Structures are given as structure tokens and as C-alpha cells.
Amino acid sequence: MSKARLAPELFLNREIGQLAFNRRVLAQAENPATPLLERLRFLCIVSSNLDEFFEIRVAGLHAEIEAGISVYGPDGMPTTQVYQRVAQEAHDLVASQYRLFNEDITPALAHEGIRFLQRADFTAAQSAWIKAYFVREVMPVLTPIGLDPSHPFPRVLNKSLNFAIELEGKDAFGRNSGIAIVQAPRVLPRVIRLPRDIAGAEYDFVFLSSIMNAHVSDLFAGMKVVDSYQFRLTRNSDLFVDEEEVKDLRAALRGELPYRQFGDEVRLELTANCSPQISDYLKAQFKLDAEDIYRVDGPVNLVRLMSVPDSVDRPDLKFAVFTAGVPGQVEHAESMFDAVRKGDILLYHPFQSFQPVITFLQEAARDPLVVAIKQTVYRTGAESELMEILIAAARSGKEVTVVLELMARFDEEANINWAQRLEDVGAHVVYGVVGHKTHAKMLMVVRRETDGEKPQASRLRRYVHLSTGNYHPRTAKLYTDMGLFTCNEEISTDVNDIFMQLTGLGRATKLRHVWQAPFTLHRQILRAIQNETAHAEAGRGGRIIAKMNALVEPEVIAALYAASKAGVQIDLIVRGVCALRPGVAGASENIRVRSVIGRFLEHSRVFYFHNSGAEDVYLSSADWMGRNFFGRVEICFPVLDAALKKRVIDEGLQCYLDDNAPAWCMDEQGQYRLSPAKGKAGGAQQVLLERLAQPRTH
């Protein structure tokens, strides 16, 4: 079944699928079985996800419509229709968010002594404290701007908190514009906890917006403040740097970053009580349409409430604390090098600790036998122990090479800063390949070792760590990812060849085990699917299980449809967007799609092909998306050790298919339904915690 012959109705829309994923995340916040403060956190995660969705995906739709371009995706929907559907779905989703926040979560928190106070709730003592706080901490950093010919509308930063003030009267100069704008600097916290001695509950919080609204008149002496309204503008945040034209990518990107704050307007969030006059004024000012305006009954930025769960010491209202496990192979070894020489090691984060990766790099940095360290870096954060270790290794004279992706969206500035610090200590820093983001997760250490039987002889041995997720210790506690340590000569030679491609020049070499994008990964995935199809057609049966974050690439989807028609049994565990429609008569009766949403963000990419009993198992940095296959440097690597292969099948795949909590299963219409819970509640993630994490001690 070729891509050209597939009917549009066999494809689901990517943008609508992304909003459907956020609906499933919101369901975690709606679920009373989720601990209360975690429900609030899930609510904030939806807002954070929507911010990026508007900054990138909706911004792209805006740009196409403004340019008069009508793009048709595999689903056959033109851009204008996609945008209309997105606007409708997004408005419904946001309305559900705020309804949940106001009618369910906020009252439940108040019942537990965690309150968000409104101005009408302030006692005399609280009002006095808030007044003093405003005068001391807020007022000195504010710059109110009254709009008139010499004070035009200010440039509003992306996602910043702002206030539109309706005024009456004339100022000291006789001006009477009627409108002023106040931007809240980002240094100000958006949620402030009241001191315990004046709080009416154990945890009383007040929003910065409530403080501003209570005392905004202090900014306009002698004038009457009719009302004050919060608003927040979302802008296009996709950076454009013509990599083929610039001579210094880092310098060009550094110059481009400040403009992200002032990209084209995409979405305007307003408080529900905003007057029509101000609403129409802002809509015209930002050149937005009615569907771009989101009126909300509460804070215009729920993301800022993400700090509240961490500020409240109520373990009973949060997920249970656990200690990540450490494999015995690592725990009882003298060093990571000794452990890896004895056999491959699989780590499944966050159920198992990320510390062995840090320890491995620490040992490499100080081991006199280590001669070189090479690592790819996509996201690592503004503060990173791993990067500090690399800097120390370079400072001590090790040959350190870092392939650092400058174009990692929203991490560009942090990566630029790390690049500078690494170069300052003599590390080799390269930025990958022009036109292809380096998304592969690879760490290689080269060590000179002696042969026990021939101590006078020595050899260089490569140790590698490959992963499905970033070298980011914080997200390793929040995302599910698998990492593999090995010193297998053929795999480590493949990794070395990829590093040589990234840092030098030359044609791609034939790799022994690793599938690599943009060269072989797409072709090998198609070949593996087609191989299962051939087995099924020959009567040998066929089986595919694939776990990933997104499935949208049309040729892979077409190959899966063809495999299903041949009788291959296919289970797809897709956290986010899945453009394939399962259970369609004559096309996908043998395909099942499920999405697992839980305490941790499912991030691992695991692929299983039965291959007539050989049971090929791969881990990958890549989803099945066009950008991963053709626009990035990605790796997909096999698990060769039989015991580890069994673990990956059991823990990384079968455990999710056997998920005993309600699971989101897609029907033939592309709609997700909750399947009934079976047995003990908790689901795959809870099972893995019980199996892999260390037992709690009291």
C-alpha cells in the first residue's frame, strides 16, 4: 500500500492530535484518584504544553494563512480548516481547564488549608501586609505607560504578565488617554505566600495580579482607575537562522534569540471581566481575530502555579516519594568500567537512577587511563553536573569533544553558554551538521587498557552509553527513558564512526548495528515492517510492538497499514500524536493504539519486531516523524544481550500492554476512550516502581 494510494481519511491531523494529547493530560488533573497537589501540577502542565503549541504549531498555521499558502497534509485538511478546528478545540480545552480549577481543585485545596486569596478575602492584617509588600517589592520595579502620541503602545514580551488600566481624569500635564499599560517584570513572583502569622490557613497564597489590582491606583496619582485587566500575549517563538548562509552559527543564533520575545502575535489571553472597549482595543493593537482571544476566569498564566506544589509540605497530597534503584551489577562493581566490561547494563529511568551515568563520566574525567571523551548534547539545562564534569575533564588535559546542538528549541541560550565555557577550557565544540539537528544521545569514553596476561601490551577500548533521552539529570527523574552501557566492539565502532561524521567530513560509512538518521533509519524501519509483512504472508505470523512519542510519517504509516492487511499483529504505544487510525475495516483491523499518561512523562522509544522468532529489539532517540527521519541526526540501536532484551520486552513494552489502570485506547474514529481498569490500580508505571525502585525505608 503506497503513500499515494492512501485515502486522506486514513490519516489523523497532527495539530488536533496534539490537543487530544493535552485532553488526556487534563484528565489526570480531573481524576480524583490523583493526589490533589499533583492534580494542580497536571493542570499547569497542560498550560505549559499549550504555550509551546501556540508558539510553534499555531504560529506556523498563522504564518501560512497570512502568506496565502494553503497547505494540505496527508489528512487532506487545508490550513484554514485545520486552524478553525484547532481554535475550537483549544477554546474548549481552556474552558475545561479553568472550570476544573475554579469549581474543583481550588475548593479542594482550600479544604486542605491551601488557599488562593482574592481581594475580597483579605483581612485587615493581610491588606496591610500586602500594601507594604506592594510598596517595598513591586512598585519600585514597575513602569506604568500612559498611552498618548508620545507614549505609543509598548512592545509586549512573549508570555509576559501585563495589565491594561482604564482611567478617568487628567494627569499633571493635562493628558487624558483613558488607557495605560503596566508590564509586570519577570523578576516578580506570580504567587506569593503570606506569612503564617497573618494567614487564615496553613498555606495562604495571593496572586501578584491580585496585589496589582488592589493597589494599581497608587501608580496614577490624582486619576480614577475604572478597572484593571490582566492580559498575556503569546508570540511566534520559532527561530529562523539560515544555517547555510551564516559563517558563525553561534553568533547568528545569539543575535536572533532576543527577537523571539517579539515574534508575530498568535494568541491573546484576557481575564473574563475585561471590558469590550479594552478587549477590542487590544485585539486591534495586536492584529488578532476573535478566535485568537481567550477569555479566562482566573489567572491568565496557570503555568505560574507550578511552584505551589513544591512550596507546600504536604506529602499526603503528592505522589509517594521513592528512591530510584541501582542494578546490582553497578552497585557491587569497583568502577563503571569494570561493570561494563562484565556485560551490558540497561538503566530504565526514573525507576532506576541516572547516577551511574554521572558516575561513569566522573570516573572517566579523573581516570589517567582515559584519553578521550566524546558526547552529544541536545538538552542539559542551564545548570548541569555532566557539563561541569566535561569542563573539568578538558581542564585536566583529556581530549573532550562535545557535539552540542545550538538549535534545541527553548534551550538555545543555555547551550550557547555551555559552548563558550567548554571552548574556554580547550574542549572541542562542534554544532553538528548544517540543516540537521543532532538529536542522537551518545557518550563515548576511550580508555587505554592493559591485557591481564600481557601487562606490557595495551589497547584502546571504547565504552559507550546510548540513550532514548537527554543527558539531563532533572528530566531523568520525570521522563521514562532507557539507557544502555556497552563496550561491544561493533556497536562502539558504529558510535565512533557517527562521531567522526559529526565532527569531520566524509561520506557516511556502513554501520554494523546502529540505524542512523538521516541515512538508514527510515529505510531500516520500513524494511523491518515489510519483513514482518512477508513473514505473515508466508504463514509464519508477524508481530510488531512500537512505543514512541509520536507517529506521523506517512510512508511508515502506509507500511503499517500494509502489514496489518497481511495479518501482522501490531500494538502501538504512542504517548502523543498518532496520525494512524486503528481498527479500520480493510486497512487496520490488526492494529491497536494506546496512550499511557501517568506520573512520569513517557519518553522512551522502543521497537520490537518478532522476525520469525529472532525477536529484534531496538531503542532509539527518534520518533516516527518526518523531522526525525530526514531532518535530524538520530540513532536506533539494538539490544543484543539476551537477558536485557527480555527485560526491554517485558518492562518497556509488555508492561504497558498489560497496564492494569484505565488506559487510553484509540477507536477507529481516532477518538481515545478509557478502557476499564483491571486488577490492582496503578498501571505500568506503578508496577515498574515496585519492581525497579529501591524499597522505602522508614
With CA atoms as reference, report the closest residue to 610 among 550, 555, 533, 549: 533
Rounded Cα distance between 57 and 570, Å, is 29
Helix orientation angle between 554-566 and 521-537, rounded to the nearest 10 degrees: 10
Q: Is the dihedral of CA 337, 339, 343, 347 positive or negative?
A: negative
Residue keyed to cell 528512591: 323
Measured in whole angstroms, how far is the alpha carbon of residue 147 from the centre of its chain?
A: 39
Rounded Cα distance between 178 and 260, Å, is 31
Sequence-separated (6 or more) residues with CB below 8 Å from residue 242: none
State whether residue 60 is helix, strand or coil: helix
Question: Which secondary-structure segment (H or E) carries 309?
Answer: helix 307-311
Whats the size of the chain, residue-wise?
Answer: 698
Quick one: 418 exposed, middle or buried, by C-beta within 10 A (0-12, 13-18, 19+)? buried
Rounded Cα distance between 138 and 184, Å, is 9
Please indicate whether residue 111 is annotated as part of the active site: no
Please give the backbone phi and psi of residue 445, each rounded to the nearest 5 degrees, phi first. -120, 130
Enter the C-alpha cell of residue 223: 486619576
Q: Where are the alpha helices (DSSP H) in 67-149?
A: 79-100, 106-111, 124-133
Q: CB–CB of 372/402 below 8 Å?
A: no
Q: CB–CB of 204/110 below 8 Å?
A: no
Secondary structure letter of residue 182 according to DSSP? E
Active-site residue identified among 349, 436, 439, 472: 439
Rounded Cα distance between 432 and 242, Å, is 15
Helix orientation angle between 36-52 and 14-30, rounded to the nearest 10 degrees: 160
Letter string b/e over residues 10-46, b meaning 16 or more CB atoms within 10 A of that residue's CB = bbbbbbbbbbbbbbbbbbbbbeeebbbbbbbbbbbbb
| Catalytic (active-site) positions | 439
